[in-house]
């Protein structure tokens, strides 16, 4: 298995083994695209996004593997009482990985957590759906 896919699988496994404020089942996907009828339940998708290979020395590379975690749920009102817990949940996910090594893949350490899309305005307006994107960058030597 490739490095980035192994890391993505380990991220999904760790999320599923972690007790957070919301009930969910994380799934590794390539494209987190669902029918609106499926969005009534909270969806957590782990998506391998990008890999950078940087020279470390003559025989090895420093690898930066970027993994996106999408959190999606259709909302009814879109008020603070409904959305604030989802924003908190996204932050909890980030806290689970920030500067930590993956238990089942300890050579990979999360060196950056970025919530580049706190919520998608497009999904909010067009789909009445909360969609947040959390990007995790793991570093390892290979």
| Vertex 37 angle, CA 94 and 127, to 5° | 65
Quick check: 31 and 23 in contact, CB under 8 A?
no
Q: Tell me: the pLDDT tens digits for 22-42? A: 999 999 999 888 887 778 899
Q: Tell me: the pLDDT tens digits for 39-79? A: 889 999 999 999 998 888 888 889 999 999 999 999 999 99
Torsion of CA 39, 126, 11, 58, to 10 degrees: 160
Q: Quote the pLDDT of residue 1.
A: 65
What is the pTM (predicted TM-score) of this model?
A: 0.93
Q: Quote the pLDDT of residue 116.
A: 87
Q: Quote the pLDDT of residue 39.
A: 87
Q: Tell me: the pLDDT tens digits for 77-100? A: 999 999 999 999 999 999 999 999
Report residue 135's pLDDT band, with 50, 70 and 90 as the boundaries. very high
**Structural domains in the chain, sorted by start:** 3-141 (3.30.2000.10)
Is the pLDDT confidence value at 113 over 90? yes
Mean pLDDT, all residues of the chain = 94
Q: Quote the pLDDT of residue 5.
A: 96
Percent of the chain scored above 70 by pLDDT?
A: 99
Distance CA 7, CA 12 (A): 9
28's tokens:
């590794």
Nearest to 49 by CA among 8, 80, 78: 8
């Amino acid at each position: 298995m490739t490095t980035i896919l192994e890391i993505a699988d380990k991220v999904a496994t760790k999320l599923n083994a972690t007790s957070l404020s919301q009930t969910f089942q994380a799934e590794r996907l390539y494209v987190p695209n669902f029918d609106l009828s499926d969005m009534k339940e909270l969806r957590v998708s782990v998506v391998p996004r990008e890999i950078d290979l940087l020279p470390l020395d003559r025989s090895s590379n420093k690898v930066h593997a970027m993994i996106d975690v999408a959190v999606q749920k259709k909302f009814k009102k879109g008020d603070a009482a409904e959305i604030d817990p989802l924003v908190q949940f996204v932050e909890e996910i980030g806290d689970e990985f920030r500067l930590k090594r993956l238990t089942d893949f300890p050579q990979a350490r999360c060196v950056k957590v970025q919530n580049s899309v706190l919520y998608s305005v497009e999904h909010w307006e067009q789909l009445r759906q909360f969609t947040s994107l959390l990007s995790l960058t793991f570093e390892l030597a290979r």
